[in-house]
A and B are shown apart, each in its own frame.
Chain A
Amino acid sequence: MKFTVKILLICLSFLSMSCRQQAERKVTITFWAMGAEGETVQKLVPAFENLNPGIHVKIQMIPWTTAQEKLITAYASGNTPDGCQLGNTWVPQFEALNSLENLDKWIKSSNVIQKDKYFPGIWDTNVLRGSTFGIPWYIDTRLLFYRTDILALAGYKNPPKTWAELYDVSKKIKALAGESGRFAIYLPTSNEWAPFIIFGLQNGSDILKDNGRYGDFSNIKFREAFEYLIKFHKEGLSPVGISQVTNVYQAFRDGYFAMYISGPWNIREFEKWMTGPLKDKWMTAALPSPTGNKPGLSLAGGSSLVIFKESPHKKEVWKFFEYLSSTQVQLRFYKEINDLPALKEAWHDSSITGNKYMKAFFIQFQNVVATPKVPEWEEIVFSKVQQYAELAARNVMPESQALKALDHDVDNILEKRRWLLSR
């Protein structure tokens, strides 16, 4: 009896040794992911590791709010992960840091990740000076969420297709609301820049000029769009300031406003709040355009997958990215956390075609553009566009003066860029 136990123990120890040997041959890659994606991607790792026994993926979850700070700190201290999820407007910033791997040659030799499988506008956000630095992972854009019942009361069976219609329906909704203090549309100024940039782009503005050397906000194209949106605030069609709307979803349910320009992350929330008799009283629509020939432009948003230059395991990371870029995995993300797939093919799956709110997104994604690809972009929109939009909306500054000041501030922000480009 004792003898057999001894034999068994010896066998076991040999077994564990051989296991360890195998483990040592494994390559460990670290992948940073933010928010809900981090949790979901964690669940997908075992399946990937089964397919690729030589690779171990370590997922590091970081909160969205501090993600950029953490990444830049990691870069400054030379501790960048192998791969990362990066908001696609951040790609220019990290490219400017010279920290991202040029993915051109990886894409060329890949059977899985190919440019024409993606929406062109989204793909383009990762292209800088002709080279690709990121692969779209999941995508988003902004479009119109609206209350069908309130628009019907105002005489609109269909959502507004042009700027003129949007203004007209807003006037009618406000007239219906009368003294109740309700509004037609929510266009926040101090914490939202997207509508201003979107409408500017729709009107043909380039936002910045001279290859991103100067602001181009005083240009008539942007000014028209800006004045158009500010009109909604000045005429009381949209609430001014954010404090009046503590909870957007509750306000939408209460009919405090009837339209809201926002992104796909709202769908689940609206489904949660719009219950009972309100269940079918809301819809999504592609954005209106200045003239109405086709849906208006919107922003190409979402997250990209990037490889850091310092990574010693680029091949393994690329394998992981190919895995994440398969239709099945992308659909799994959609089902679990409503992340919209970047692959066009996934959009033909019944789980997406069966969702009536997705139709407008599919239409909108055909018509999205990247915001100007300068590293200073976030500073420009978050600290300056919002600030001057608010000053104009609250009637503290006339629109033309606000735009002039905006150009002045943006030119100051871009001074370093001009100096670098002139060297």
Chain B
Amino acid sequence: MAPEQVRSRKYTVDKKKHEAKEKAGSRDLHSKAPFSVKIPAAYLFLAPAMLAIAVFFFIPVAAAFIISFTDFDIYALSSFSNLRFIALKNYLRIFNDPLFYRALKNTFYFVIGAGPLSIAVSLGAAMLLNSPMVRLKGLFRLFYFIPVVTTLVAVAVVWRFIYHPRFGILNYLLGFLSVNPIDWLGDPDWAMPAIILMAVWKNFGYNMIIFIAGLQNIPEYLYEAAVLEGAGWWHRFKSITLPMLAPTTIFVGIITMIGYFQLFAEPYVMTQGGPLNRTLSIVQYMYEEGFRWWNMGYSAALAFVLFFIIFAAALLQLRFQKDVE
């Protein structure tokens, strides 16, 4: 059976359920008095949650948006008469700020470098752990998941030692391959790859769990049929695993991308954005402008620029998904 057939069968089941629900709902409505104002009960149930979202989400976002058109800073905190409305000046400043471009470049480097690598590693790990030949699966899953739940600061301390130019184990091991010692975190060209390596190691376990769930949803008979037809390992992977995992992959891809665009903690604890600002990410730049130097206006503007970048990237990815389908 081809994958499409499987999906369509599932869909028809869902559709029936849905129709049944609709019938039940319409009966309820008819039983009401003819003159009462009709507020569907659903809205009443939703109201508290919507209110909370409005207060704790929309209002702060709107406030931040307004702040991004002002020069809100430490002086403004002391007296509102020190606050100036400066229209688009913050945004114009961003587009003339070499440090912003530096941060943007670094962030893209990280997303493009670490994103696909991270997904590939987690898919690989998931397939290994899903293989019927592996024993003690739970134990391995736990092992691979441990970095995800470990505090980043603790991880960073360990990795700083791994990367240490003189005493680090990485350079020690590379020494056997007669590679000259590399100042991993101190060399402007190596710092970002070092951060990428660490981030991939730290995060792959999370996606791996999602991939395992996705893999377990693929019916076994598809593989059995493929084997009967004489398909090899690569063929089965390409024609069954990948297409069946497409929704999972898209989901994982978007989640990972959004997460990686918000790169902050890894360079913040490992390199503080250095050397030469080569690991400075947009979020770190935003954090420093906002909470270290209290340039709230500029920081808010940076946040919205980052939001639009992520939004555009997510749209692009969804479009890509449609094209694939």
B164 interface residue per 8 A CB criterion: yes
Q: A225: shortest Cβ distance to chain B, in Å?
A: 22
Interface assignment of B73: CB less than 8 Å from any CB of chain A:
yes
Interface residue ranges, A against B (CB under 8 Å): 69, 72, 75-76, 93, 96-99, 190-191, 241-244, 246, 375-376, 378-379, 382-383, 387, 390-391, 394, 396, 416, 419-420
Cβ-closest chain A residue relative to B274: A190
Docked-complex contact A242 and B165, CB < 8 angstroms: no
At the interface with chain A, which of B2-10, B75-83, B113-121, B240-248? B75-83
CB <8 Å contact, A75 and B77: yes
A207 to B167, CA, bound (A): 40
Is A420 within 8 A of B82, CB to CB?
Answer: yes
Answer yes or no: B276 CB below 8 A from chain A CBs.
Answer: yes
In the assembly, what is the distance between CA of A244 and CA of B291, in Å? 29
Q: Is B209 an interface residue when CB atoms closer than 8 A count as contact?
A: no
Query: What's the least CB distance linking A376 to chain B, in Å?
Result: 8
Contact present for A72 and B294 (CB under 8 Å) = yes
B: residues with CB less than 8 A from A are: 71, 73-75, 77-79, 82, 84, 160, 164-167, 183-186, 188, 271-272, 274-277, 288, 291-294
CB distance from B178 to the nearest CB of A (A): 19
Q: Which residue of A lies closest to B275 (CB)?
A: A241
Q: Is the CB of B183 within 8 A of A243?
A: yes
Are A243 and B74 in contact, with the CB atoms below 8 A? no
Q: Report Cα–Cα, A93/B183, bound state, in Å.
A: 38
Indicate which residue in B79, B277, B293 contacts A98 across the interface (CB closer than 8 Å). B79
Residues of A contacting B166 in the complex (Cβ-Cβ under 8 angstroms): 244
B74 & A241 in contact (Cβ 8 Å cutoff): no
- A97 lies within 8 A of B74 (CB): yes
Given that A97-B74, A97-B77, A99-B78 are known contacts, is A242 also in contact with B288, CB under 8 Å in the complex?
no
CA distance A109 to B282 in the complex (A): 52
Which A residues touch B77, using CB under 8 A? 72, 75-76, 97
**How many Å lie between the Cα of A190 and that of B160 in the bound state?**
17
Minimum C-beta distance from A28 to chain B (A) = 27
- Smallest CB separation, B318 vs chain A (Å): 37
Answer whether A98 and B78 are a contact pair too, CB < 8 Å, given A241-B186, A242-B186. Answer: yes
Beyond the given A190-B274, A242-B186, A243-B184, please list 7 additional residue pairs across the A-B interface where CB-CB is below 8 A.
A69-B291, A72-B74, A96-B74, A191-B274, A246-B167, A375-B75, A379-B292
A390 touches B276 (CB 8 A): yes
CB-CB under 8 A from B271, the residues of chain A are 243
User: A379–B276 Cα gap in the complex (Å)?
Assistant: 17
Closest Cβ neighbor of A69 among chain B residues? B291
Q: Provide the bound-state CA to CA distance between A384 and B276, in Å.
A: 12
A394, B274: Cβ atoms closer than 8 Å: no
Q: How far is the CA of A419 from the CA of B71 in the complex (A)?
A: 12
B-chain residues with CB within 8 Å of residue A96 when the two chains form the complex: 74-75, 78
Contact A394:B276 (CB < 8 A) given known A93-B74, A244-B183: yes
Whether B164 lies near A416 (C-beta < 8 A) is no
Whether A375 pairs with B74 at a CB distance below 8 angstroms is yes
Report how far A376 CA is from B271 CA in the complex, Å.
Answer: 24
Chain A residue numbers with a CB within 8 Å of B188 are: 394
Residue of A whose beta carbon sits closest to that of B99 = A387
